[in-house]
Chains A and B, each alone.
Chain A
Amino acid sequence: MNSFFTIEGILYFGAISLSIIGLFGLLVSKNLFRMLLSLVLFEAGANLVLVLSGFIRNGIAPIFLDGNSGAVMNDPVPQALVLTAIVIGVGVQALALSLIFRVKKHYGSMDMRTIRSKLEREIATQAGVTPPGSNEAPAPVKLVKGEAHE
């Protein structure tokens, strides 16, 4: 731990903190869009950790120029991997966003609890059974009667 307050230690700390913040948001938040944003943060942190794994102290970018024939270069392999990961991450985020659009349009809400109770009620109606009780909708009998106000 004596090497913690070097430049790499601080960079690792920042990258890991970013992914931890993203993971915490993913666990705690109830809004679907906030969960997506937390996923973006988590991904950014993971990509930073991956890039840092090829970091060399006093290393330069892995590009051959005129003046740097003898210099130490950073590892190019993690950088190429992260280039791939970022692009795939964009695709996944766009896909998740479009699915969130559909969910919002169908259930009229982005709150996980509302969506879950509506989904359970929908499934129970299709199966022809009384919907199960939950914290948000405790009594099944009352819920069937109170459908009119929806």
Chain B
Amino acid sequence: MTKYSALLFISGLVFLLMVITGLLPMGHTPMLVGNAILEGAKDQVGAANVVTSVVLGYRGLDTLGELSILFAAASVVGLVLTKSSFNKHASNNDDKHDHHDSGFVAVNAIDLIFPLLLVVGMYIITHGHLTPGGGFQGGVVLAVAFSMLVIVRPRRVSINHGMVSIIESFAGVSFIVIGVVALFKGQSFLQPLLGHGEFASLWSAGTLPLLYLAVGLKVGAELAGLLLALNTDEVAS
């Protein structure tokens, strides 16, 4: 019965969405804000990648809010899962789940590609204002690199949680400090500083690369902590 009513609802929704989509100006979007940004971004922000100018320049405060949402989610996951790892099953899981390393192929492959993953992650973060990518994407690559290292050798490798939280707090604080420095110079919060530099070179677009570096470190540390919290809970249950 639930399935049939769900099917009825879905088919009605499909009809509605098809009609709305048919009315859309597909492929000829009226870009009101977009055109203004595309015209002004080169002179106002100076980043070759316009998406980066939107994320960190025009909507920098939104990015700060997004980082705080991610921080809240990561801390709640830590809270929810740490409580459960102190329960009564925690003592006798050693015989049930004797964690050996993964196989030869996985261990050696991760050892081989771990430095390459670090390089790719840092490249994506530092070139966020020039090429597609940026702090969020590069941070995910870094987090995957570190958590793969732990997943492959569950017993022998462990990541220092204190170090992870130090990196995370440092990145978050430096993001806010860069924003506050702009306030002291008499400009708006998070306004890009330090001049534009040579267009489309690595040292350009003012403080945007620094902001993206902070975002990348924060996202990387948070997601690594998240993945490891999920992983350790599975071991402890």
Contact = CB atoms under 8 A, between A and B. Distances in A.
Interface residues of B, number: 61
Contacts of A66: 200
A101 B233 contact: yes
Contact of A80 (B54, B130, B237): B54
B26 A12 contact: yes
Contacts of A98: 76-77, 80-81, 229-230, 233
Contacts of B73: 91-92, 94-95
B16 to A, nearest CB: 10
Q: Dominant SS at the A interface?
A: helix
Interface string B53-94: 111000100110010011011101100110010010000000
A61 B51 CA distance: 9
B162 interface: no
A9 interface: yes
B227 to A, nearest CB: 8
B9 interface: yes
Contacts of B54: 76-77, 79-80
A24 B10 contact: yes
Interface in A27-65: 27-28, 53-57, 61-65
A76 B34 contact: yes
A144 B170 CA distance: 56
A63 B76 contact: no
Contact of A87 (B21, B70, B72, B199): B70
B49 A62 contact: yes
A110 interface: no
Task: Give the interface residue-count category, chain A.
Answer: 35 or more
B48 A65 contact: yes
Contact of A101 (B72, B81, B223): B81
Contacts of B132: 61, 63
A97 interface: yes
Contact of A65 (B22, B74, B200): B200
Q: Which of A63, A73, A95 lies at the interface centre, i.e. has the most chain B CB atoms within 10 A of its CB?
A: A63
Contacts of B69: 88, 91
Interface in B210-237: 219, 223, 226, 229-230, 233-234, 237
Interface of B: 2-3, 6-7, 9-10, 13-14, 17-18, 21-22, 24, 26-29, 31, 33-34, 37-38, 41-42, 48-51, 53-55, 59, 62-63, 66, 69-70, 72-74, 76-77, 80-81, 84, 87, 130-132, 134, 136, 199-200, 219, 223, 226, 229-230, 233-234, 237
Given A53-B29, A63-B49, A84-B55, 19 more contacts: A4-B22, A16-B14, A24-B7, A54-B34, A56-B28, A57-B27, A63-B48, A63-B130, A76-B37, A83-B136, A84-B62, A84-B66, A91-B70, A91-B73, A94-B77, A94-B230, A95-B77, A101-B233, A105-B87
22 contacts: A24-B7, A54-B34, A62-B38, A62-B50, A63-B130, A64-B200, A73-B38, A80-B51, A80-B55, A84-B63, A86-B136, A87-B70, A88-B66, A88-B70, A90-B223, A91-B69, A94-B73, A97-B230, A98-B77, A101-B84, A101-B233, A101-B237
